[in-house]
Chains A and B, each alone.
Chain A
Amino acid sequence: MSQATIDADTRPGALGVGAEHPDYLRADSGLRSWLLTKDHKRIALMFYVGVILFLGLGGTFALVLRTELLTPEQTFIDANTYNQMFTLHGITMVWLFMIPAIPTVFGNFVLPIMLGAKDLAFPRVNLASFYVYVLSAIILLGAMLAGGADTGWTFYVPYSTTSPTAVTWMGIGIFVNGISSIMTSVNFIVTTHTLRAKGLSWHRMPLFVWASYGTSIIILFATPVLGMSLLLIAIDHTFGLSLFNPRFGGDPVLFQHLFWFYSHPAVYIMILPAFGVISEVVCSFSHNKPASYRAIAYSSLGIAFVGFFTWGHHMFVAGLSEFDAGVFGALSMFVAIFSAIKVFTWVATLRGGSISFATPMLYFLWFLFLFVFGGMTGVAVATQSLDVHWHDTYFVVAHFHFIMVGGTLTAFLAAAHYWFPKMFGRLYDERVGLLTSVAVFIGFVFTFLPQFLLGNGGMPRRYFTYPERYQWLNVLSTGGAWLLGAGLILALGNLLVALKWGKRAGPNPWGSRSFEWITASPPSKHNFEETPEIERSAYEYTLSEEVARERAKAR
Chain B
Amino acid sequence: MISAHVTTPKLIGSWIALLVLTFLSFGTSRLGLGEVELLIALSISVAKTLIVLFIFMHLVEQRFANRLIVILTFLFIALLVSLTVADPLTRKTFPPRPDPAAHPYP
Contact = CB atoms under 8 A, between A and B. Distances in A.
Nearest to A319: B91
Contacts of B76: 221, 308
Contacts of B84: 254, 257-258, 261
B75 to A, nearest CB: 10
Interface residues of A, number: 22
* Interface hub of A253, A258, A324 (most chain B Cβ within 10 A): A324
B88 interface: yes
Contacts of B91: 319, 321
A321 B73 contact: no
B106 A247 contact: yes
Given A221-B73, A261-B80, A323 B88 contact: no
B83 interface: yes
Interface string B58-98: 00000000000000110010011001101111111000000
Interface string A288-311: 000000000000000000001100
Contacts of A321: 86-92
* Interface hub of A221, A247, A248 (most chain B Cβ within 10 A): A221
B9 interface: no
Contacts of B27: none
Contacts of B106: 247
Nearest to B84: A257
A308 B79 CA distance: 9
Contacts of A225: 80
Contacts, number: 47
Interface residues of B, number: 17
Contacts of A323: 86-87, 90
B95 to A, nearest CB: 15
Interface of B: 72-73, 76, 79-80, 83-84, 86-92, 100, 105-106
**Minimum-distance CB pairs A-B, first 3:** A323-B90, A321-B90, A321-B91
A62 B7 CA distance: 60
A506 interface: no
Nearest to A312: B83
Given A257-B84, A257-B87, A320-B87, A309 B92 contact: no
Contacts of B83: 257, 309, 312, 324, 327-328
Interface string A244-258: 000111010110011
Interface in A238-286: 247-249, 251, 253-254, 257-258, 261
Contacts of A324: 83, 86-87, 90
A550 interface: no
A251 B88 contact: yes
A468 interface: no
Given A221-B73, A221-B76, A249-B100, A322 B87 contact: no
